[in-house]
Amino acid sequence: MIVRTAPTDLSSNLAIDSKGMSELRQSARAGSPEALKTAATQFESMFVNMMMKSMRDATPQDGMMDSQQTKMFTTMLDQQTSQSIAKKGMGLADVLVRQLSKTLPPQDGVPTDPAMARALMEQAKLQRSIEASGGASAMAAASNAGKPAHVRAFQDKLAGDAEEASRTSGIPAKFMLGQAALESGWGRREIKGRDGTNSHNLFGIKAGPDWKGRVVETATTEYVNGKPQTRVEKFRAYDSYADSFKDYARLLSSNPRYEKALAAAGSTDAAGFARHLQKAGYATDPNYATKLAGIIQRTLA
């Protein structure tokens, strides 16, 4: 017999607390109406708290009355206010309950219901947008402190372009940065033409017959029946790294074969995202999914 426990009350936590968000998802997956309602209400409370924190961060706080003690009490007041608003309801919790009740995600974390997948993608977009409005840069700087120099340099160089593409596509920026790192060897093996011209192609996207832009030709390794072979192929060329991120996001969003990968991205499932990319034929390397998931989960976490 499976004993279902009520989800822990997380509404007093910071809305961007990843541990809290993980507990909410697990509570929702419990499947009972009570668990779904509780998880949805707590998410609504965390969402309101996130908005209030972003507004506080965007307001100058260097006045005579702005001490550490007043900031602490303000934070506590905001948390209490967000809980009160969520209990009365903004409508977000009801929407989440309806979506989660239709089709719960299967064991690999990828929703099969298209409406559920879209809801998760919109949730991810919304959360990243709010985080970007205040406090996100300080958190990113703190998380980068213990990373190798080449990882920090790669992120510092491309994080802005990845975030921009993330806001329009819903694919987490670190998922795209991880794949760009894998494809380009952290920027050390960028695709260049025979004359040394940089293609700015970070994702190894080839130039098929439908591509009307510039191209570069270079040698690449492809796996045929599990064995590596060197070939000369045509690759897309861009004017900037930002264009590379945009084209990558557009490719995944417009091609039905990447539908499951996008759904996994919307639920922030790095392993599922990498696995479904490989199954869809993005790369021929038999270890591609393992390598990509490892970079995202261990290096860019």
Question: Which tens digits make up the pLDDT trace of 120-148?
Answer: 565 555 555 545 544 444 445 545 656 88
Catalytic member of 44, 131, 183, 247: 247
Answer for the pair 129, 169: CB distance below 8 angstroms, yes or no.
no
27 CB burial (10 A radius; 0-12, 13-18, 19+):
buried
Kindly state whether residues 214 and 70 are assigned to the same domain: no
Q: Which of 44, 79, 102 is the last residue of a domain?
A: 102
Kindly state whether residues 291 and 146 are assigned to the same domain: yes
Answer for the pair 219, 204: CB distance below 8 angstroms, yes or no.
no
**Which is more confident, 105 or 264?**
264
Residue 102 CA to residue 113 CA, distance in Å, equals: 8
Domain coverage including residue 90? 18-102
Residue 258 has pLDDT above 90, yes or no: yes
Kindly state whether residues 204 and 60 are assigned to the same domain: no
pLDDT of residue 7: 46
Residue 247 annotated to the active site = yes
Beta partners for residue 42, in sequence order: none
Answer for the pair 230, 221: CB distance below 8 angstroms, yes or no.
yes
Answer for the pair 289, 277: CB distance below 8 angstroms, yes or no.
yes
296 CB burial (10 A radius; 0-12, 13-18, 19+):
buried
Number of domains in the chain: 2
Query: In angstroms, what CA-CA distances link 216 with 151, 223, 233?
Result: 27, 21, 8
Residue 113 annotated to the active site = no
pLDDT of residue 15: 40
Question: What is the CA 244 to chain-centroid distance, rounded?
Answer: 17
Catalytic member of 9, 34, 122, 222: 222
Kindly state whether residues 220 and 285 are assigned to the same domain: yes
Q: Residue 97 in 3-state DSSP? A: helix
Kindly state whether residues 191 and 279 are assigned to the same domain: yes
**Which is more confident, 135 or 29?**
29
